[in-house]
Structure 1
Amino acid sequence: MWQINLEQYLPLNPYKNYLQMRLTDTKQARYSMLLICEGTHTEPNFLELMIEDFKEAGIIDFATTIKPKPTISPSDNTLDLNRGKEKRRKRLLKNTTQKQQEIENMDFFPGEQPLNWVKGGIDNLKVYDEVWVFFDKDGHPKAKEAFEMARITEIDGKKINIAFSSRCFEYYLLLHFELIYRAFEKSECNGKTYSQGGKKSKTISYYCMTDRAVEGKACNGDVCINGYARKNNYWKNSKGDLSTYTFVKEKIWTGVYNAHLIRWKSNTLHQNEYYERNPYVDVDKFVCRLMGYSTINFEESYEVTDDKINYCITREYNTITLTLLNTKTLILSQGNITAHDYNTRDYRGINIHAILTEDNPIFSINLKEIITPNEFCVISILSKKYYCPLFPLQTIIWH
């Protein structure tokens, strides 16, 4: 029998060293995913290039549809997205074309935001196998109703997934560069001018932290995320010609790790609904899902049925507890738990194994005993992979 040792491939780098072996059958080939975005620039174009990259690396092989449609087209320039290895065509975003302007003026899902996007996703649950909706905390009037509808609605066993950013998607981008818990007020310093007696408005930029900054209007990086990013030389423009994915491509796991810690801190400090908070982000859940992982969040439990085995996985601070829920046997073999250093991208196996039965249905894992603050833990249970980092109180400096 032909065999391959997958441990020789490093799962921390999905672009060079991550090999996923999949059986291609007709059911998998038909799998499809719909992504509905609030924005017409940043989110669609980020997702388009990231998904294209993951598909080229063999990480995902199913069909994806993004609405509104990204406007990414090839140019004659080259951009080394693999840092010196493989040259490929640069993807430019034609945000000023007539096509892009038509997209901006098109109302794909009419109604009150963000409820309209969730309703649009629900309408497509019979068409697509999986639907995600991406939107920000932006003073939307129907945020509560949107999250409630997503929670209670199920069609053919499928539910809407929401990837939420507060204050905005740029905050998730920022977490790829530093761990910062800060309530920014906006993505960019800007204002509005009015014409036709106030009937028509136009957004104007104050060019925060550029040589064109409007004195008295630009915040110098104190209020807006793009200004803060420019101040620290992270990026120049999140709504420019290049997909923002190019800024963070080599920092994907840093962004996932930091977003998870931000969510933990938010859950620790606040009891109100997370769509009311600032900051808060869970876009990392979608990124992990694309790479084949489910995130295990603080003080949450997940009931899973896999290969007729029913179990619950629960996260309490730095403890993961597995509970068998039926009369089957759940085996956690040696090698099913690995530790991954998200900085060096090294990984190592953890010498833990367990057998859960009807008589002994509970097994707990202390993350402090098996991983360090620079690592995260991956628990492979049957066909599921769970991502969970340590919560190092004493080692984190919160800005």
Structure 2
Amino acid sequence: MRKRKINRSILIVCEGTKTEYDYFQYIGEKISIPRGVWDTVEVSTNVTIPKDIPIPAQTSLAKRKKKSFINPNKRKISDQNVLLKLCSYLYGEKEGFEKYENVKAVPLRFVALAQMLEEEQRIYEELWAVYDKDDHPFHKEASEKALELTNDKVVNIGFSSRSFEHWIILHFEKNKKEFLVTDCKDEKDEPLGCNKDIGCKGQTCLCGYIRTNTPLVNYSKSNSPKDFEDMMNVLMKPANLRKAISNAEWLREEIRNSEESNKPIYELNPFTDIDYLVKKLID
């Protein structure tokens, strides 16, 4: 009988600070660790990189780099400016400030963050970056960056298009509809709350489709703790989880048999391979 490795640790750097983060935290705490699949499931988000810290011009770097930065909320960042560090990690100290916009791009940033955390910690058996297609740039660069070895490890990518919500839909049905947006919004950039009675009625946005066509009638990108717990109880039912994995495999097979088969995954809509990561966490 093969002995299980001890102190197994997996790192998941994910785009969302709410839905995806809570989802993988839940699986880690409720399933992976209790079952002994992993000893540590570390989920990191873009909160790790303070987006609201101003980046100094290259000419002022020498004067300011040893000082703490103050963000607009007047909270002092005293330990380190992780975003500055990530700029230097990606491009070198000089060029990093000229390419700050590249670092802001979510896919490239998350892949690089997973690599940087592995270089510092050296404890992870697997590295994952989870993000969506949305309207993000630098998908190609992120995919290429993920193949670079960090302590003999690549960064595995858990990708969804248009967004993570397509993975949620697959828990209930086979679906290869191309959605235009994740959530319809008003002129103030607030979600419309589309459902069977209002908004696009699930024809245009993923969240509206979920509320209209699945049991998750209260689904939101910022679920309340109760709604989130109720949602996970539904999604983690063995029958629904098996269906999601099977339907994700079906969707990729549909793509392989279509005119889209030669496209890279970041040009596809719909697409998801989140099932690979979920299977890693539960089996």
Is the pair's TM-score, using the shorter chain for normalization, greater than 0.5? yes
**Residues 25-68 of structure 1 deviation map (CA, whole Å, 9 limit, x = unaligned):** xx522x22111111111100011111222136515132111113
The residue aligned with 1:289 is: 280
The residue aligned with 1:245 is: 232
- SS of equivalent to 1:190: coil
* Higher relative contact order structure (alpha carbons within 8 Å, sequence separation ≥ 6): 2
The count of residues paired between Structure 1 and Structure 2 equals: 220
Which one has a larger percent helix, Structure 1 or Structure 2? Answer: 2
Over 3 Å counting, the alpha-carbon distance change for 1:222 and 1:233 in structure 2 is same
1:225 Cα deviation (Å)? 1.4
CA distance in 2, matches of 1:284, 1:290: 10
1:229 Cα deviation (Å)? 1.7
Query: Is residue 112–residue 142 contact of structure 1 (8 Å, CA) maintained in 2?
Result: yes
2:110 corresponds to 1:133: no
The residue aligned with 2:110 is: 117
1:125 Cα deviation (Å)? 2.5
The residue aligned with 2:166 is: 171
1:178 Cα deviation (Å)? 0.4
In structure 1, give the amino acid aligned to 2:235.
V
Q: Which runs of 5+ in 1 are unaligned?
A: 1-20, 71-97, 99-105, 194-202, 293-399
- SS of equivalent to 1:173: helix
- SS of equivalent to 1:114: helix
Over 3 Å counting, the alpha-carbon distance change for 1:61 and 1:121 in structure 2 is closer
Q: Which runs of 5+ in 2 are unaligned?
A: 48-72, 74-80, 87-102
Query: Is residue 176–residue 252 contact of structure 1 (8 Å, CA) maintained in 2?
Result: yes
Query: Is residue 136–residue 166 contact of structure 1 (8 Å, CA) maintained in 2?
Result: yes
> Which of 258, 262, 286 is 2:247 aligned to?
258
CA distance in 2, matches of 1:266, 1:107: 38
Over 3 Å counting, the alpha-carbon distance change for 1:258 and 1:156 in structure 2 is same
In structure 1, give the amino acid aligned to 2:251.
I
- SS of equivalent to 2:257: helix
Query: Is residue 44–residue 67 contact of structure 1 (8 Å, CA) maintained in 2?
Result: yes
**Residues 80-138 of structure 1 deviation map (CA, whole Å, 9 limit, x = unaligned):** xxxxxxxxxxxxxxxxxx9xxxxxxx987653221111111111233223211110011
Query: Is residue 259–residue 284 contact of structure 1 (8 Å, CA) maintained in 2?
Result: yes
CA-based RMSD of the aligned residues comes to 2.6
1:188 Cα deviation (Å)? 1.4
> Which of 119, 141, 146 is 1:150 aligned to?
146
2:19 corresponds to 1:42: yes
The residue aligned with 1:378 is: none
Which one has a larger percent strand, Structure 1 or Structure 2? Answer: 1
Give percent identity, aligned residues only: 30
CA distance in 2, matches of 1:169, 1:33: 20
1:284 Cα deviation (Å)? 0.3
The residue aligned with 1:209 is: 195
4+ residue segments displaced more than 3 Å: 21-24, 106-110
**Residues 301-331 of structure 1 deviation map (CA, whole Å, 9 limit, x = unaligned):** xxxxxxxxxxxxxxxxxxxxxxxxxxxxxxx
CA distance in 1, matches of 2:162, 2:82: 23
The residue aligned with 1:276 is: 267
Q: Which has the larger radius of gyration?
A: 1
TM-score of the superposed pair, with normalisation by structure 1 = 0.51
CA distance in 2, matches of 1:268, 1:233: 27
In structure 2, give the amino acid aligned to 1:246.
N
In structure 2, give the amino acid aligned to 1:136.
D
TM-score of the superposed pair, with normalisation by structure 2 = 0.71
CA distance in 1, matches of 2:126, 2:155: 8
Over 3 Å counting, the alpha-carbon distance change for 1:34 and 1:178 in structure 2 is same
After TM superposition, list the pairs within 5 Å mapping 1:172-191 onto structure 2. Answer: 172-191=167-186
